[in-house]
Amino acid sequence: MTRVEFEKLPVTKLRALALEKYQEVKGVHGMKKDELVEAIIAEAVRLGHMEKEVGVEARRSAEASKFKVQIRALKAERERIMGAKDPAGLKGVRDQIKRLKRRLRALREAS
């Protein structure tokens, strides 16, 4: 199972899974869902049932950098359009910048 599949399961099924397959996980009944998912994944990785997720933060950082580069390019485009006094083009560029900033913010909140 993947992390996403574990996160979709209800807490009761996660507890049952931990008690059944991963007996080394202690304190199952006192854990919250996110703690339980992390403990199950850690135990599954330790036992070799799953591969360790590497580079999640690196991928997010690379994606954030990509968004920042796009925003800088759009801001330069915005300055050019403002000089040309093109209101329709200006609105389009501003909307693109706004969307990229929202995605960047959401990416930061997710990490």
Domain boundary assignment for the chain: 3-47, 56-110
Distance CA 22, CA 26 (A): 9
Q: According to the model, what pLDDT value does residue 11 have?
A: 94
> What is the chain's pLDDT, residue by residue, as a tens digit (111 residues)?
777 788 889 999 999 999 999 889 999 999 998 889 889 988 988 888 877 765 566 677 778 888 999 999 999 999 999 999 999 999 999 999 999 999 988 887 775
Q: Percent helix, strand and coil across the chain, each rounded to 5? A: 80, 0, 20
29 CB-near residues (< 8 Å, 6+ apart) = 15
Residue 93: its pLDDT value, please?
A: 96
How many helices (DSSP H) and strands (DSSP E) are in the chain? 5, 0
State pTM to two decimals: 0.50
CA distances to 37, 96, 97 from 73, rounded to whole Å, are: 40, 11, 10
